[in-house]
Structure 1
Amino acid sequence: MDLKKLLEGIKNNSISVEEALGKLKDLPYEDLGYANVDHHRELRTGYPEVIYCEGKSDSQILGIVDKMTIKNSNILGTRCRKETYEKIKEVYPNAEYEEISKILKIQNHPIENKGKGKIVVITGGTSDIPVADEAYHTALFLGNTVEKVYDVGVAGIHRLLGKKHIIDSARVIIAVAGMEGALPSVVGGLVDVPIIAVPTSVGYGANFGGVSALLTMLNSCASGISVVNIDNGFGAGYLASMINKLT
Protein backbone atom coordinates (compact mmCIF):
# COMPACT_ATOMS: atom_id res chain seq x y z
CA MET A 1 0.00 0.00 0.00
CA ASP A 2 1.30 3.52 -0.82
CA LEU A 3 0.29 4.82 2.61
CA LYS A 4 2.29 2.10 4.39
CA LYS A 5 5.38 2.85 2.27
CA LEU A 6 4.94 6.55 2.96
CA LEU A 7 4.82 6.04 6.72
CA GLU A 8 7.82 3.71 6.59
CA GLY A 9 9.69 6.34 4.55
CA ILE A 10 9.04 9.02 7.19
CA LYS A 11 10.12 6.59 9.91
CA ASN A 12 13.45 5.76 8.27
CA ASN A 13 14.02 9.35 7.07
CA SER A 14 14.03 8.45 3.36
CA ILE A 15 11.05 10.81 2.83
CA SER A 16 10.80 14.28 4.33
CA VAL A 17 7.66 15.54 6.04
CA GLU A 18 7.21 18.09 3.21
CA GLU A 19 7.40 15.35 0.55
CA ALA A 20 4.95 13.23 2.52
CA LEU A 21 2.47 16.10 2.73
CA GLY A 22 2.68 16.54 -1.05
CA LYS A 23 1.96 12.85 -1.65
CA LEU A 24 -0.90 12.79 0.87
CA LYS A 25 -2.80 15.37 -1.18
CA ASP A 26 -3.44 12.78 -3.90
CA LEU A 27 -3.83 9.71 -1.69
CA PRO A 28 -7.56 9.84 -0.75
CA TYR A 29 -8.79 10.62 -4.28
CA GLU A 30 -7.62 12.41 -7.38
CA ASP A 31 -9.85 14.81 -9.31
CA LEU A 32 -9.47 14.35 -13.07
CA GLY A 33 -12.32 16.70 -13.92
CA TYR A 34 -14.48 13.87 -15.26
CA ALA A 35 -13.73 11.36 -12.48
CA ASN A 36 -12.60 11.31 -8.87
CA VAL A 37 -10.24 8.33 -8.73
CA ASP A 38 -10.57 6.74 -5.27
CA HIS A 39 -7.03 5.71 -4.36
CA HIS A 40 -8.03 4.76 -0.80
CA ARG A 41 -10.72 2.28 -1.88
CA GLU A 42 -8.43 -0.72 -1.37
CA LEU A 43 -7.33 0.56 2.03
CA ARG A 44 -10.97 0.86 3.18
CA THR A 45 -12.57 -2.17 1.53
CA GLY A 46 -9.73 -4.50 0.57
CA TYR A 47 -10.27 -4.01 -3.18
CA PRO A 48 -9.17 -1.22 -5.54
CA GLU A 49 -11.79 0.82 -7.37
CA VAL A 50 -13.28 -1.04 -10.35
CA ILE A 51 -13.79 0.86 -13.62
CA TYR A 52 -17.25 0.60 -15.17
CA CYS A 53 -16.27 1.28 -18.78
CA GLU A 54 -19.69 1.58 -20.40
CA GLY A 55 -20.54 5.23 -21.07
CA LYS A 56 -16.95 6.40 -20.71
CA SER A 57 -14.76 7.46 -23.62
CA ASP A 58 -11.51 5.67 -24.45
CA SER A 59 -9.50 8.68 -23.30
CA GLN A 60 -11.38 8.85 -19.98
CA ILE A 61 -10.77 5.17 -19.27
CA LEU A 62 -7.11 5.47 -20.19
CA GLY A 63 -6.79 8.52 -17.93
CA ILE A 64 -8.17 6.57 -14.97
CA VAL A 65 -5.92 3.60 -15.77
CA ASP A 66 -2.89 5.94 -15.86
CA LYS A 67 -3.60 7.31 -12.38
CA MET A 68 -4.31 3.89 -10.88
CA THR A 69 -1.14 2.46 -12.42
CA ILE A 70 0.95 5.22 -10.86
CA LYS A 71 -0.39 4.01 -7.50
CA ASN A 72 0.47 0.40 -8.46
CA SER A 73 -3.18 -0.68 -8.21
CA ASN A 74 -4.43 -3.79 -9.92
CA ILE A 75 -7.05 -2.72 -12.45
CA LEU A 76 -10.35 -4.38 -13.31
CA GLY A 77 -12.63 -2.83 -15.93
CA THR A 78 -16.14 -4.13 -16.66
CA ARG A 79 -18.21 -3.78 -19.86
CA CYS A 80 -15.08 -2.72 -21.75
CA ARG A 81 -15.18 -2.39 -25.54
CA LYS A 82 -12.56 -4.41 -27.42
CA GLU A 83 -11.48 -1.25 -29.26
CA THR A 84 -10.81 0.42 -25.89
CA TYR A 85 -8.75 -2.55 -24.73
CA GLU A 86 -6.65 -2.46 -27.90
CA LYS A 87 -5.80 1.21 -27.30
CA ILE A 88 -4.92 0.50 -23.66
CA LYS A 89 -2.81 -2.50 -24.71
CA GLU A 90 -0.62 -0.17 -26.80
CA VAL A 91 0.26 1.77 -23.63
CA TYR A 92 0.13 -1.11 -21.12
CA PRO A 93 1.36 -4.37 -22.70
CA ASN A 94 0.38 -6.34 -19.58
CA ALA A 95 -3.30 -5.56 -20.18
CA GLU A 96 -5.53 -8.60 -20.76
CA TYR A 97 -9.04 -8.87 -22.18
CA GLU A 98 -11.77 -11.46 -21.73
CA GLU A 99 -13.80 -11.12 -24.91
CA ILE A 100 -16.94 -12.98 -23.82
CA SER A 101 -17.39 -11.08 -20.56
CA LYS A 102 -15.82 -7.80 -21.82
CA ILE A 103 -13.53 -7.71 -18.78
CA LEU A 104 -10.32 -5.64 -18.86
CA LYS A 105 -7.54 -6.72 -16.49
CA ILE A 106 -4.18 -5.14 -15.67
CA GLN A 107 -2.20 -6.87 -12.95
CA ASN A 108 0.37 -4.44 -11.54
CA HIS A 109 1.27 -6.54 -8.50
CA PRO A 110 0.76 -10.20 -7.52
CA ILE A 111 -2.77 -11.25 -6.57
CA GLU A 112 -2.87 -13.11 -3.27
CA ASN A 113 -5.47 -15.85 -2.95
CA LYS A 114 -7.18 -15.08 0.34
CA GLY A 115 -10.28 -17.17 -0.32
CA LYS A 116 -11.13 -19.75 2.33
CA GLY A 117 -12.71 -22.09 -0.19
CA LYS A 118 -14.01 -22.36 -3.74
CA ILE A 119 -16.57 -20.25 -5.59
CA VAL A 120 -18.60 -22.20 -8.16
CA VAL A 121 -20.37 -20.36 -10.98
CA ILE A 122 -23.36 -22.18 -12.51
CA THR A 123 -25.46 -21.22 -15.53
CA GLY A 124 -28.85 -22.35 -16.71
CA GLY A 125 -27.88 -22.12 -20.38
CA THR A 126 -25.08 -21.29 -22.78
CA SER A 127 -26.68 -17.90 -23.47
CA ASP A 128 -26.09 -16.94 -19.83
CA ILE A 129 -22.31 -17.39 -20.13
CA PRO A 130 -21.36 -13.73 -20.83
CA VAL A 131 -22.87 -12.68 -17.48
CA ALA A 132 -21.49 -15.75 -15.71
CA ASP A 133 -18.02 -15.12 -17.11
CA GLU A 134 -18.15 -11.56 -15.74
CA ALA A 135 -18.77 -13.07 -12.29
CA TYR A 136 -16.09 -15.73 -12.82
CA HIS A 137 -13.32 -13.36 -13.91
CA THR A 138 -14.24 -10.81 -11.22
CA ALA A 139 -13.98 -13.39 -8.43
CA LEU A 140 -10.79 -14.82 -9.93
CA PHE A 141 -9.14 -11.40 -10.22
CA LEU A 142 -10.04 -10.60 -6.61
CA GLY A 143 -8.05 -13.60 -5.39
CA ASN A 144 -10.29 -16.67 -5.25
CA THR A 145 -10.35 -20.22 -6.54
CA VAL A 146 -13.27 -20.34 -8.98
CA GLU A 147 -14.80 -23.16 -11.02
CA LYS A 148 -17.41 -23.12 -13.79
CA VAL A 149 -20.40 -25.42 -14.28
CA TYR A 150 -22.19 -24.19 -17.40
CA ASP A 151 -25.41 -25.16 -19.20
CA VAL A 152 -27.05 -27.24 -16.46
CA GLY A 153 -30.50 -25.63 -16.40
CA VAL A 154 -33.74 -27.11 -15.13
CA ALA A 155 -34.92 -28.19 -18.61
CA GLY A 156 -32.43 -31.06 -18.25
CA ILE A 157 -31.95 -31.32 -14.52
CA HIS A 158 -29.93 -34.55 -14.78
CA ARG A 159 -27.07 -32.36 -16.09
CA LEU A 160 -27.04 -30.42 -12.82
CA LEU A 161 -27.12 -33.58 -10.71
CA GLY A 162 -24.24 -34.96 -12.76
CA LYS A 163 -22.09 -32.05 -11.54
CA LYS A 164 -23.18 -32.27 -7.90
CA HIS A 165 -19.70 -33.29 -6.74
CA ILE A 166 -18.39 -29.91 -7.97
CA ILE A 167 -21.34 -28.01 -6.53
CA ASP A 168 -20.84 -29.71 -3.15
CA SER A 169 -17.22 -28.50 -3.08
CA ALA A 170 -18.26 -24.82 -3.12
CA ARG A 171 -18.10 -22.38 -0.22
CA VAL A 172 -20.19 -19.89 -2.25
CA ILE A 173 -22.31 -20.52 -5.35
CA ILE A 174 -23.23 -18.03 -8.07
CA ALA A 175 -26.28 -19.22 -10.03
CA VAL A 176 -26.89 -17.39 -13.31
CA ALA A 177 -30.10 -17.90 -15.30
CA GLY A 178 -32.55 -16.21 -17.63
CA MET A 179 -35.95 -17.38 -18.93
CA GLU A 180 -37.97 -18.13 -15.76
CA GLY A 181 -34.87 -18.11 -13.53
CA ALA A 182 -35.60 -21.32 -11.63
CA LEU A 183 -31.98 -22.52 -11.31
CA PRO A 184 -31.12 -20.87 -7.92
CA SER A 185 -34.21 -22.39 -6.28
CA VAL A 186 -33.25 -25.88 -7.42
CA VAL A 187 -29.64 -25.46 -6.31
CA GLY A 188 -30.87 -23.99 -3.00
CA GLY A 189 -32.60 -27.27 -2.22
CA LEU A 190 -29.36 -29.21 -2.66
CA VAL A 191 -26.66 -27.27 -0.79
CA ASP A 192 -25.84 -25.73 2.61
CA VAL A 193 -23.82 -22.72 1.41
CA PRO A 194 -24.82 -19.17 0.35
CA ILE A 195 -26.17 -18.77 -3.18
CA ILE A 196 -25.95 -15.53 -5.12
CA ALA A 197 -28.61 -15.52 -7.83
CA VAL A 198 -28.05 -13.52 -11.01
CA PRO A 199 -31.05 -13.01 -13.32
CA THR A 200 -30.11 -12.45 -16.95
CA SER A 201 -31.99 -10.68 -19.73
CA VAL A 202 -31.97 -13.90 -21.78
CA GLY A 203 -35.49 -14.97 -22.78
CA TYR A 204 -38.49 -14.38 -25.01
CA GLY A 205 -40.90 -11.45 -24.83
CA ALA A 206 -42.66 -12.27 -21.55
CA ASN A 207 -39.22 -12.46 -19.93
CA PHE A 208 -39.39 -8.62 -19.95
CA GLY A 209 -35.64 -8.24 -20.32
CA GLY A 210 -34.88 -10.33 -17.24
CA VAL A 211 -37.69 -9.12 -14.97
CA SER A 212 -39.39 -12.53 -14.90
CA ALA A 213 -36.14 -14.22 -13.82
CA LEU A 214 -35.54 -11.49 -11.23
CA LEU A 215 -39.01 -11.93 -9.70
CA THR A 216 -38.68 -15.72 -9.63
CA MET A 217 -35.38 -15.45 -7.76
CA LEU A 218 -36.73 -12.85 -5.33
CA ASN A 219 -39.72 -15.10 -4.62
CA SER A 220 -37.72 -18.30 -4.24
CA CYS A 221 -38.97 -20.68 -1.55
CA ALA A 222 -35.44 -22.04 -1.07
CA SER A 223 -33.50 -20.45 1.79
CA GLY A 224 -30.02 -18.93 1.66
CA ILE A 225 -30.42 -17.11 -1.66
CA SER A 226 -29.54 -13.47 -2.26
CA VAL A 227 -30.24 -11.74 -5.58
CA VAL A 228 -28.29 -9.11 -7.51
CA ASN A 229 -29.52 -6.96 -10.37
CA ILE A 230 -30.26 -8.19 -13.88
CA ASP A 231 -27.06 -9.11 -15.78
CA ASN A 232 -24.88 -7.97 -12.84
CA GLY A 233 -22.23 -10.67 -12.99
CA PHE A 234 -19.67 -8.27 -11.53
CA GLY A 235 -21.77 -7.62 -8.44
CA ALA A 236 -22.19 -11.35 -7.87
CA GLY A 237 -18.48 -12.06 -8.27
CA TYR A 238 -17.56 -9.23 -5.90
CA LEU A 239 -20.04 -10.32 -3.22
CA ALA A 240 -18.99 -13.98 -3.53
CA SER A 241 -15.37 -12.90 -3.02
CA MET A 242 -16.27 -11.00 0.15
CA ILE A 243 -18.15 -14.01 1.56
CA ASN A 244 -15.36 -16.42 0.61
CA LYS A 245 -12.77 -14.32 2.45
CA LEU A 246 -14.67 -14.19 5.72
CA THR A 247 -12.88 -16.07 8.49
Structure 2
Amino acid sequence: MDLKSILNKIKVNEMDLDAAEAQIRSMGYVPVSDIAKIDIFRKHRTGIMEAILAEGKDPGDVVEIAKAQISATGRVLITRLGDDHRQSLESHFRSEFIEWSLHRSAAVVHDGTPAPSTGGIVAIITAGTADIDVAEEARMVAHEMGCETIAIYDVGVAGFHRLVGEMQKIQEKKPDSIIVAAGREGTLPTVVSSLVDVPVIGLPVSTGYGAGAKGEAALLSMLQSCSVISVVNIDAGFVAGSFAARIANTVAEARKCNNL
Protein backbone atom coordinates (compact mmCIF):
# COMPACT_ATOMS: atom_id res chain seq x y z
CA MET A 1 0.00 0.00 0.00
CA ASP A 2 1.45 3.40 -0.97
CA LEU A 3 1.13 6.67 0.96
CA LYS A 4 -1.65 8.03 -1.25
CA SER A 5 -3.76 4.91 -0.64
CA ILE A 6 -3.28 5.23 3.09
CA LEU A 7 -4.35 8.89 3.04
CA ASN A 8 -7.42 8.03 0.97
CA LYS A 9 -8.42 5.33 3.46
CA ILE A 10 -8.13 7.84 6.30
CA LYS A 11 -10.24 10.31 4.30
CA VAL A 12 -13.11 7.86 3.86
CA ASN A 13 -12.81 6.53 7.43
CA GLU A 14 -11.57 3.09 6.36
CA MET A 15 -8.42 3.41 8.47
CA ASP A 16 -7.81 5.09 11.82
CA LEU A 17 -4.74 7.18 12.64
CA ASP A 18 -3.01 4.48 14.69
CA ALA A 19 -3.29 1.94 11.89
CA ALA A 20 -2.15 4.54 9.36
CA GLU A 21 0.88 5.42 11.47
CA ALA A 22 1.86 1.75 11.76
CA GLN A 23 1.47 1.28 7.99
CA ILE A 24 3.56 4.37 7.18
CA ARG A 25 6.32 3.32 9.56
CA SER A 26 6.54 -0.08 7.87
CA MET A 27 7.15 1.67 4.54
CA GLY A 28 10.05 3.77 5.81
CA TYR A 29 13.09 2.67 3.88
CA VAL A 30 15.35 4.28 1.30
CA PRO A 31 16.68 2.11 -1.54
CA VAL A 32 20.31 2.51 -2.59
CA SER A 33 20.58 1.30 -6.16
CA ASP A 34 20.14 -2.49 -6.02
CA ILE A 35 22.48 -3.08 -3.08
CA ALA A 36 20.65 -1.87 0.04
CA LYS A 37 17.40 -0.67 1.59
CA ILE A 38 18.04 1.71 4.50
CA ASP A 39 15.49 1.34 7.29
CA ILE A 40 15.19 5.03 8.24
CA PHE A 41 12.20 4.41 10.56
CA ARG A 42 13.87 1.64 12.56
CA LYS A 43 14.73 3.97 15.44
CA HIS A 44 11.11 5.21 15.65
CA ARG A 45 9.70 1.72 15.28
CA THR A 46 12.00 -0.21 17.64
CA GLY A 47 14.04 2.34 19.57
CA ILE A 48 17.23 1.00 17.96
CA MET A 49 19.03 2.96 15.27
CA GLU A 50 19.90 1.81 11.77
CA ALA A 51 23.64 1.45 11.19
CA ILE A 52 25.95 0.23 8.43
CA LEU A 53 27.96 -2.93 9.02
CA ALA A 54 31.06 -2.35 6.86
CA GLU A 55 32.49 -5.83 7.33
CA GLY A 56 31.99 -7.86 4.15
CA LYS A 57 30.92 -4.84 2.08
CA ASP A 58 32.76 -3.18 -0.78
CA PRO A 59 34.18 0.19 0.38
CA GLY A 60 32.45 2.00 -2.47
CA ASP A 61 29.10 0.49 -1.49
CA VAL A 62 29.63 1.61 2.12
CA VAL A 63 30.18 5.17 0.90
CA GLU A 64 27.03 5.13 -1.25
CA ILE A 65 24.90 3.73 1.57
CA ALA A 66 26.35 6.33 3.94
CA LYS A 67 25.52 9.15 1.53
CA ALA A 68 21.91 8.00 1.27
CA GLN A 69 21.44 7.66 5.02
CA ILE A 70 23.02 11.04 5.72
CA SER A 71 20.65 12.59 3.19
CA ALA A 72 17.68 10.98 4.95
CA THR A 73 18.65 11.40 8.61
CA GLY A 74 21.70 13.67 8.86
CA ARG A 75 23.95 11.10 10.57
CA VAL A 76 25.09 7.54 10.00
CA LEU A 77 27.00 5.10 12.22
CA ILE A 78 29.33 2.67 10.46
CA THR A 79 30.75 -0.32 12.36
CA ARG A 80 33.48 -2.92 11.86
CA LEU A 81 35.60 -0.83 9.55
CA GLY A 82 38.65 -2.12 7.73
CA ASP A 83 41.51 0.02 6.43
CA ASP A 84 39.98 0.12 2.95
CA HIS A 85 36.66 1.37 4.34
CA ARG A 86 38.40 4.07 6.36
CA GLN A 87 40.35 5.26 3.33
CA SER A 88 37.20 5.43 1.20
CA LEU A 89 35.29 7.40 3.83
CA GLU A 90 38.16 9.86 4.27
CA SER A 91 38.41 10.40 0.53
CA HIS A 92 34.67 11.02 0.07
CA PHE A 93 33.77 13.04 3.18
CA ARG A 94 35.42 16.06 4.75
CA SER A 95 37.39 15.12 7.84
CA GLU A 96 35.44 17.47 10.13
CA PHE A 97 32.30 15.46 9.36
CA ILE A 98 33.80 12.11 10.39
CA GLU A 99 33.95 11.14 14.07
CA TRP A 100 36.18 8.12 14.67
CA SER A 101 36.03 5.79 17.63
CA LEU A 102 39.13 5.53 19.80
CA HIS A 103 40.63 2.64 17.83
CA ARG A 104 38.70 3.46 14.64
CA SER A 105 36.53 0.36 14.91
CA ALA A 106 33.52 2.55 14.13
CA ALA A 107 32.77 5.97 12.70
CA VAL A 108 29.95 8.48 12.50
CA VAL A 109 29.62 10.54 9.33
CA HIS A 110 27.22 13.49 9.36
CA ASP A 111 26.20 16.71 7.66
CA GLY A 112 26.51 18.85 10.77
CA THR A 113 23.41 17.39 12.39
CA PRO A 114 24.20 16.97 16.12
CA ALA A 115 23.85 13.66 17.94
CA PRO A 116 20.61 13.33 19.90
CA SER A 117 20.52 13.68 23.69
CA THR A 118 18.06 11.67 25.75
CA GLY A 119 19.48 12.02 29.23
CA GLY A 120 20.35 8.33 29.44
CA ILE A 121 23.77 7.38 30.83
CA VAL A 122 25.72 4.26 29.83
CA ALA A 123 29.05 3.13 31.29
CA ILE A 124 31.41 0.97 29.24
CA ILE A 125 34.09 -0.99 31.08
CA THR A 126 36.79 -3.25 29.65
CA ALA A 127 38.91 -5.88 31.31
CA GLY A 128 41.92 -5.22 29.08
CA THR A 129 43.24 -2.82 26.46
CA ALA A 130 42.74 -5.54 23.83
CA ASP A 131 38.98 -5.33 24.47
CA ILE A 132 38.72 -1.63 23.62
CA ASP A 133 37.90 -2.03 19.90
CA VAL A 134 34.68 -3.92 20.62
CA ALA A 135 33.88 -1.68 23.58
CA GLU A 136 34.27 1.45 21.43
CA GLU A 137 31.74 0.10 18.95
CA ALA A 138 29.29 -0.30 21.83
CA ARG A 139 30.11 3.17 23.16
CA MET A 140 29.48 4.88 19.85
CA VAL A 141 26.16 3.07 19.41
CA ALA A 142 25.00 4.24 22.84
CA HIS A 143 26.17 7.78 22.06
CA GLU A 144 24.33 7.84 18.74
CA MET A 145 21.20 6.65 20.53
CA GLY A 146 21.36 9.77 22.68
CA CYS A 147 23.20 8.59 25.78
CA GLU A 148 26.03 10.14 27.70
CA THR A 149 28.81 7.55 27.87
CA ILE A 150 31.44 6.84 30.53
CA ALA A 151 34.51 4.83 29.44
CA ILE A 152 36.56 2.92 32.02
CA TYR A 153 39.19 0.79 30.30
CA ASP A 154 41.77 -1.83 31.37
CA VAL A 155 40.49 -2.69 34.86
CA GLY A 156 40.37 -6.49 34.68
CA VAL A 157 40.47 -8.90 37.60
CA ALA A 158 44.18 -9.61 37.16
CA GLY A 159 44.58 -6.30 38.99
CA PHE A 160 41.31 -5.90 40.87
CA HIS A 161 42.55 -2.76 42.66
CA ARG A 162 42.29 -0.91 39.32
CA LEU A 163 38.54 -1.47 39.22
CA VAL A 164 38.15 -0.46 42.86
CA GLY A 165 39.92 2.80 42.10
CA GLU A 166 37.53 3.56 39.22
CA MET A 167 34.27 2.69 40.99
CA GLN A 168 33.98 6.28 42.24
CA LYS A 169 33.22 7.33 38.65
CA ILE A 170 30.32 4.90 38.60
CA GLN A 171 29.02 6.19 41.93
CA GLU A 172 29.30 9.83 40.82
CA LYS A 173 27.83 9.48 37.32
CA LYS A 174 25.12 6.97 38.31
CA PRO A 175 24.78 5.20 34.93
CA ASP A 176 21.47 3.62 34.00
CA SER A 177 23.19 0.55 32.53
CA ILE A 178 26.72 -0.81 32.25
CA ILE A 179 28.45 -2.75 29.47
CA VAL A 180 31.42 -4.86 30.55
CA ALA A 181 33.66 -6.17 27.76
CA ALA A 182 36.09 -8.98 28.58
CA GLY A 183 37.99 -11.73 26.81
CA ARG A 184 40.04 -14.64 28.20
CA GLU A 185 38.03 -16.07 31.14
CA GLY A 186 35.40 -13.28 31.02
CA THR A 187 35.10 -12.78 34.77
CA LEU A 188 34.76 -9.00 35.00
CA PRO A 189 31.00 -8.62 34.24
CA THR A 190 30.16 -10.91 37.17
CA VAL A 191 32.35 -8.88 39.51
CA VAL A 192 30.93 -5.54 38.36
CA SER A 193 27.36 -6.81 38.65
CA SER A 194 28.03 -7.77 42.27
CA LEU A 195 28.96 -4.15 43.08
CA VAL A 196 26.25 -2.08 41.35
CA ASP A 197 22.47 -1.74 41.38
CA VAL A 198 21.89 -1.23 37.63
CA PRO A 199 21.66 -3.73 34.74
CA VAL A 200 24.99 -5.11 33.51
CA ILE A 201 25.48 -6.41 29.97
CA GLY A 202 28.34 -8.85 29.50
CA LEU A 203 30.16 -8.43 26.17
CA PRO A 204 32.50 -11.38 25.50
CA VAL A 205 35.47 -10.47 23.31
CA SER A 206 37.50 -12.76 21.06
CA THR A 207 40.81 -12.12 22.85
CA GLY A 208 42.87 -14.76 24.58
CA TYR A 209 44.51 -17.94 23.32
CA GLY A 210 44.49 -21.70 23.77
CA ALA A 211 41.25 -22.95 25.34
CA GLY A 212 40.01 -19.37 25.61
CA ALA A 213 40.50 -18.50 21.95
CA LYS A 214 37.84 -16.72 19.88
CA GLY A 215 35.93 -15.59 22.98
CA GLU A 216 34.22 -18.92 23.61
CA ALA A 217 35.54 -19.28 27.17
CA ALA A 218 34.49 -15.71 27.98
CA LEU A 219 31.01 -16.31 26.58
CA LEU A 220 30.49 -19.52 28.56
CA SER A 221 31.85 -17.94 31.73
CA MET A 222 29.44 -15.01 31.43
CA LEU A 223 26.51 -17.34 30.79
CA GLN A 224 27.44 -19.15 34.03
CA SER A 225 27.63 -15.90 36.03
CA CYS A 226 26.70 -16.17 39.71
CA SER A 227 25.53 -12.55 39.82
CA VAL A 228 22.72 -11.52 37.47
CA ILE A 229 23.83 -10.20 34.08
CA SER A 230 22.63 -10.24 30.49
CA VAL A 231 25.03 -11.55 27.85
CA VAL A 232 25.33 -10.78 24.13
CA ASN A 233 27.19 -12.67 21.43
CA ILE A 234 30.97 -12.65 21.04
CA ASP A 235 32.24 -9.26 19.80
CA ALA A 236 28.64 -8.00 19.47
CA GLY A 237 29.43 -4.40 20.34
CA PHE A 238 26.48 -3.02 18.38
CA VAL A 239 24.02 -5.27 20.19
CA ALA A 240 25.47 -4.45 23.61
CA GLY A 241 25.41 -0.72 22.90
CA SER A 242 21.85 -0.84 21.59
CA PHE A 243 20.55 -2.87 24.53
CA ALA A 244 22.30 -0.68 27.11
CA ALA A 245 21.02 2.48 25.42
CA ARG A 246 17.44 1.21 25.30
CA ILE A 247 17.57 0.55 29.04
CA ALA A 248 19.14 3.95 29.72
CA ASN A 249 16.69 5.81 27.50
CA THR A 250 13.72 4.12 29.16
CA VAL A 251 15.05 5.11 32.58
CA ALA A 252 15.73 8.67 31.39
CA GLU A 253 12.19 8.98 30.06
CA ALA A 254 10.84 7.78 33.41
CA ARG A 255 12.94 10.41 35.19
CA LYS A 256 11.46 13.10 32.99
CA CYS A 257 7.91 11.89 33.55
CA ASN A 258 8.45 11.86 37.32
CA ASN A 259 10.47 15.10 37.36
CA LEU A 260 13.43 13.35 38.97
Q: TM-score, normalised by structure 2?
A: 0.79
Deviates more, 1:211-220 or 1:94-103: 94-103
Residue identity opposite 2:143 in structure 1 = L
Asked if residue 204 in structure 1 is aligned to residue 209 in structure 2, the reply is yes
Q: Which residue of 1 aligns with 2:160?
A: 157
Give the AA of the match of 1:115. Answer: G
Using a 3 Å threshold, how does the CA distance of structure 1 residues 99 and 145 change in structure 2: closer, same or farther? closer
* One-letter identity of the residue aligned with 2:208: G
**Amino acid aligned to 1:139:** A
Q: 1:197-223 CA deviation, whole Å, 9 max, x = no partner?
A: 001111121003111100010010102
Equivalent pair of 1:127/1:202 in contact (CA under 8 Å): yes
Q: In the comparison of the two structures, how many residue pairs are matched?
A: 223
Of Structure 1 and Structure 2, the greater helix share is in 2
Distance in 2 between the 1:64 and 1:226 partners?
Answer: 32
Query: Within 1, Cα distance between the matches of 2:234 and 2:248?
Result: 22
Q: Is the Cα contact below 8 Å between 1:85 and 1:97 reproduced in 2?
A: no
Partner of 1:80: 81
Corresponding position of 1:185: 190
> C-alpha separation between the residues in 2 aligned to 1:50 and 1:44?
15
Aligned: 1:45 with 2:46: yes
Name the amino acid aligned to 1:233: G
For residues 138-196 of structure 1, the C-alpha deviation after alignment (integer angstroms, 9 at most, x for no partner) is 21222211111111111111111111112232221111111110101111111110001
Aligned-residue RMSD, C-alpha: 2.2
Distance 2:102 2:249 in 1: 28
Residues 108-145 of structure 1: per-residue CA shift (max 9 Å, x gap): 322221033x2111111111111111112221222211
**What is the deviation of 1:232?**
1.3
Per the TM alignment, residue 55 of structure 1 is displaced from its structure 2 partner at its CA by 0.3
TM-score between the two structures when normalised by the length of structure 1: 0.83
Aligned identity (percent) is: 39
Note if 1:147 corresponds to 2:133. Answer: no
Moved over 3 A (4+): 26-29
CA contact (8 A) 2:125 2:179 kept: yes
Measured after TM superposition, the shift of residue 72 of structure 1 is: 3.2
Deviation at 1:46, TM superposition (A): 4.0
Structure-2 residue corresponding to 1:122: 125
Which one-letter code corresponds to 2:68 in the other structure? Answer: K
Alpha-carbon separation, structure 1, partners of 2:143 and 2:200 = 17
**Structure 2 residues without counterparts, runs of 5 or longer:** 8-24, 255-260
Q: Which residue of 1 aligns with 2:70?
A: 69
Secondary structure, counterpart of 2:60 in structure 1: helix
For residue 142 of structure 1, what is the amino acid of its counterpart? M
